[in-house]
Amino acid sequence: MKYCAYIFFLLSISALLAGCGTETKPSALLDEAPGSPSFFLFSNEENMKEEKPFYDALLTYSNACGEAGGAAVEILSQSAGMDSDTAFFLFADQDGEMSYDGEADAESIYTFMEKQAPCPSNNK
């Protein structure tokens, strides 16, 4: 059952990526971002295999936070003004923005997410 949920999540993400075509730059996203903390993943849909750790971390974070909250997550296609072929992960809140520059494994990415915007303790 867990495997089916994971496949559904990946298919949903793929569908979202297929519909993204904005020309927004990361710094401009801060002006449009909600008041709550947000994670932005700029993804290149041609590199889904290499970006799997980011999707795994996002799924783990969403499951850990549940309905009670956590930061918002936005996934944008690489056509959103990024020049790189690799994923770019950014955290933004009212204090500014911070890009992820750690190891490209799901555990490290999740640790970064938890440090920036911890899930409410009753959902862990």
Domain enclosing residue 87, as ranges: 38-118
Higher-pLDDT residue of 66, 12: 66
Query: At 40, which helix (H) or strand (E)?
Result: strand 38-43
Asked whether 39 and 89 are in contact (CB, 8 A), the reply is yes
pTM above 0.85, yes or no: no
Of 17, 19, 21, the closest CA to residue 80 belongs to: 21
**62 against 88, higher pLDDT:** 62
Interhelix angle 106-116/52-65, nearest 10 degrees: 40
Q: Are 56 and 49 in contact (CB under 8 A)?
A: no
In a domain, 71, yes or no: yes
Q: In CATH, what number is assigned to the domain containing residue 111?
A: 3.40.30
Do residues 92 and 34 touch, judged by C-beta distance below 8 A?
Answer: no
Q: Mean pLDDT score of the chain, rounded to an integer? A: 72
Report yes or no on 1 lying in a domain: no
The reply to whether 22 falls in a domain is no
How many structural domains are present in the chain? 1
pLDDT digits (tens, 9 = 90+) for 45-83: 778 888 899 999 998 988 888 766 678 887 777 654 555
What single DSSP character describes residue 121?
Answer: G
Which of 23-27, 30-34, 35-39 is predicted least confidently? Answer: 23-27
